[in-house]
A and B are shown apart, each in its own frame.
Chain A
Amino acid sequence: MKVLVPVKRVVDYNVKVRVKADGSGVETANVKMSMNPFDEIAVEEAVRLKEKGVAEEIVAVSCGPNAAQEQLRTALAMGADRGILVEHDGVLEPLAVAKLLKAIVGKEGPALVILGKQAIDDDMSATGQMLAALLGWGQGTFASRIEKEGDALKVTREVDGGLETVSVKLPAIVTADLRLNEPRYASLPNIMKARKKPIETVKPADLGVDVTPRLRVLKVEEPAKRQAGRKVGSVEELVAVLRNEAKVI
């Protein structure tokens, strides 16, 4: 089967983001950008499915600026076969991305789409579920384990209080949680090879998708800062202040 893996270009998880002085957003100029960490897990899972002979071809897709080619190259170096860039400058909300991906799914015909469960910039955790809805497919979100069983996928899901297992008919959507796998580092030869793999570029208009945002950002601000407290000298003192000063125990 063919597997589609959408990947998002985001501010690297190690970067401490700064809110712009005019409150219009966060500073993203001259900041290190990377593939969204949960999308790396999604790519890794697709590559493992290919290594097991379950998947034949892996297509990586990114919706974003031209520079998102870097993230597609990373996916290709990890083992994806080819890339598609849906090029758009400006805000793409999960609904718009889901519509773009639906159009790509229509062209490519994958049996499985694996996405990260959440992007670490807008923290929406929505694109996979929205794509499943638009396609009329089943969804296995927050997956910690997937296994193909006939024409269905057995998905172990991370839920509040433990794990849940569902069987989702293929074609299906899976969103990757932290424990699904540990993504590999691309080797130098594979990085070199990835440079020769094809990346096709399309625009939202080519796919007939209106990506106008539904949300207008009125302002972005820093949350109230917590003041650092004080150090205590011993466990005895700690328990005393918790009992007598903070009165929380």
Chain B
Amino acid sequence: MTVLVLADHKDGALTQPTRSTVAAAQKLGEVHLLVAGEGAGAASAAAARLPGVAKVLTGAEAPVLAEPLAAQLVALAPGYSHLLAPASAAGRNVMPRVAALLDMQVLSDVCGVVDADTFIRPIYAGNALATVKSADAKKVMTVRATSFDPVPAEGGTATVEAAPAAADPGLSSFLGAEIVKSERPELTAARIVISGGRAMGSAENFAIIEKVADRLGAAVGASRAAVDAGYAANDMQVGQTGKIVAPELYIAVGISGAIQHLAGMKDSKVIVAINKDEEAPIFQVADYGLVADLFKAVPELEAELAK
């Protein structure tokens, strides 16, 4: 069996979720990677160095659009038993389209590989895990990165070749992107994440969290309530409908711990909760809880870390 993984990449490197997806793919068979989009050339060179990857296919150096990319994956599909992508915005955009074009049911957010046909995936915001067996001839799926330890970035020597071009159906065009520039690590790859909730009270107040983040080299996240209230950007959202994270340390500040938020962070290794409400559900999952007013505790935390 040969498995094709659609890679996400940024600044000439594969994302950590892509390396986790490769780890999942290695449980199924020989792994090939498709690297497409702006910077595909440089990222292909990085992809070829992943241990356990046999071949890298380089796609077009152009902004990625779902329709032509899906057509390209469908054209490549006959050579593969499984088509995988990280469950990122990019993967979730294109893989269901690929599955439907192949008349197959996509498997989203796979968090466990049982055998070539059987997979585990979370449902109901991660409150239940379903083991499902697919009757489709091929499997098209997105992979929950936090459930698989990423393969190392170095150690392999795969061959690199150009992916056969597929016709662009011309259904959409790329107009532009506003990607937030940040010195901080990517939320889904960070070793430490500190998130703020509705109790932050305003977008400006997130500054106190950012100071702690910079002290720890952490990424900054937010609960859906904080995003809904306009205190934080949507791409900072941690939860069922946002990003799924599993850092070594997760610090929840002023977050009550709604089911939808817990779904996005409960696999973190160590969880710290700072909340003034002693009864907040977040304390039921926290390894260390501090009952305190965040506006006092967070600046104190920054000062203490500086010591």
Residues on A facing B (Cβ under 8 Å): 11, 13, 16-17, 19, 26, 38, 93-95, 98, 117-118, 120-134, 136-142, 144, 154, 157-169, 172, 177-179, 213-223, 226, 228-232, 234-236, 238-239, 241-242, 246, 248-249
Contact = CB atoms under 8 A, between A and B. Distances in A.
- Give me the 9 closest cross-chain CB pairs, A-B, nearest first: A138-B171, A229-B287, A130-B100, A133-B100, A126-B96, A129-B96, A214-B105, A162-B179, A138-B172
B129 A221 contact: yes
B83 interface: no
Given A121-B124, A125-B108, 6 more contacts: A130-B99, A138-B172, A163-B177, A178-B241, A236-B304, A248-B248
Nearest to B292: A235
Contacts, number: 261
B301 A160 contact: no
A17 B180 CA distance: 36
Contacts of A138: 66-67, 171-172
Contacts of B82: none
B304 A239 contact: yes
Interface of B is mostly: mixed
Contacts of A215: 105, 107, 132-135
Nearest to A159: B89
Interface of A is mostly: mixed
Interface centre among A129, A134, A177 (most CB of B within 10 A): A129
Nearest to B191: A248
Contacts of B88: 160
Contact of A216 (B96, B133, B241): B133
A247 to B, nearest CB: 9
Contacts of B2: none
A241 B270 CA distance: 11
B246 interface: no
18 contacts: A120-B125, A121-B124, A123-B108, A129-B95, A139-B93, A161-B180, A164-B176, A166-B172, A167-B175, A169-B172, A178-B227, A214-B104, A215-B135, A230-B288, A238-B290, A238-B304, A239-B305, A242-B272
Contacts of A229: 271, 286-289
B172 A140 contact: yes
B185 to A, nearest CB: 12
A162 B177 contact: yes
A141 B93 contact: yes
Contact of A126 (B108, B130, B180): B108
Nearest to B188: A160
Interface in B282-305: 283-292, 297, 300-301, 304-305
A166 B90 contact: no
